[in-house]
Structure 1
């Protein structure tokens, strides 16, 4: 038994390292984990005067069986009792693995109305003096394309995406207005 453990343990370490190398990851040239976003990602309206541009996003390492992707941007710190949806795009084709800065919803995908009332990206616009807000940009690898009603709510889209997610990866960027 001792020889078996000595032989198997190094192999399990080797294979676990290989599995980590193929992890589903999200990256961006515009935002970074724990860093403050630029005014380019600030909303234009509601008293904010930013560029209202979605950040560039790229992902890799999707698990086998991925049939589509979803991208969400969410502020859990918005003083609403339920956070604030800035962007929800579902059914992004499986051959799309990046979105440029200022991206429109990719062909074949479905945009969900954000909390500004539009089915597109809406930038950060925390209330002045409310302190630092966290903006969670998440990509989900989905096991199937989703069949959502035409005017699906952000909550319904979130539920259906999480129910079909094979993997996800998040960048949490920051923003505040003084």
Structure 2
């Protein structure tokens, strides 16, 4: 298995199939009110079977690559996507659903694994993202992974968003 990895994390592609434990972790991530708040959404209220059907349909899209984030023991931590994928760039989305792992560097490592995959394997030139300006923990994690702020703007629910990006050349010749 040559899945993207960095530090303690591995990004398992949805295309490899998810275990029942991984599906359960993913479902609980989207049902959690606190995680939903940090994602600018409402907690999921759909039944599991419908959630699974929707996720599988979304992951078949050609403009999207979805992964579950696994820790050093192979346990579910969260989800990461590269979406709006073109030959030149993608947008990154990440959710660490295991709140007991927040603030321990797993998100930064998952982002680094995704960036390595995006630049070295997919040949992209840029990866961008949007996050809440008030989410300082996420902003610091993205900066540690190589992102830089490129703008501010209005976001959902009246909160200000920060737009960030990283270019292949920002990470040096090995990217």
Alignment TM class, shorter chain as reference: under 0.3
Q: What TM-score comes out, normalization by structure 2 length?
A: 0.27
Of structures 1 and 2, the one scoring higher in RCO (CA 8 A, sep 6+) is: 1
Whichever structure has more helix as a proportion of its residues is 2
Q: What TM-score comes out, normalization by structure 1 length?
A: 0.26
Larger Rg over CA atoms: 1
